[in-house]
Amino acid sequence: MTLNRQFRNLALLTGGFLLAGCASVNTSNLKPAEHLVQQNFHDKIHVTKVFPGPVHSLTGIVVETDQHQQGILWMLSDKYLLLGPVVNAQQENITGHYADKYLPQPAKVPAEKIAPAALAAPGFTIGHSGPLMVVFMDPNCIFCHLLWESLQQPVAEGKVRVKVVPVGFLKPSSPAKAATILAAKNPAEAWANNEKGFDLHTEEGSTKPLSHIPAVDEAAVKTNTQLLHQTGETATPALLYCIKTAKGLEMEMKHGIDVHHTPEFIQKLAGSVGARGCIPAA
Domains of the chain in sequence order: 6-102 (no CATH), 111-280 (3.40.30.10)
Q: Is the pLDDT of residue 1 over 50?
A: no
Each residue's pLDDT tens digit, 69-104: 677 888 889 888 887 667 677 767 777 778 778 887
191-241 pLDDT, tens per residue? 999 999 999 999 999 999 999 999 999 999 999 999 998 898 888 999 999
Alpha carbons within 13 A on the beta-carbon side of 44 = 11
Instruction: Quote the CA–CA distance of 103 and 141 in Å, as a whole number.
Output: 23
Rounded mean pLDDT of 160-165?
Answer: 99
Taking every pair of C-alpha atoms in the chain, what is the biggest distance, in angstroms? 64
Residue 250 has what pLDDT?
A: 95
pTM above 0.85, yes or no: no
At 180 the pLDDT is 98
Most confident of 34-38, 203-207, 246-250: 203-207
Q: What mean pLDDT is reported for the chain?
A: 85
C-alpha 241/C-alpha 210 separation (Å) is 33
The helix/strand/coil state of 269 is strand
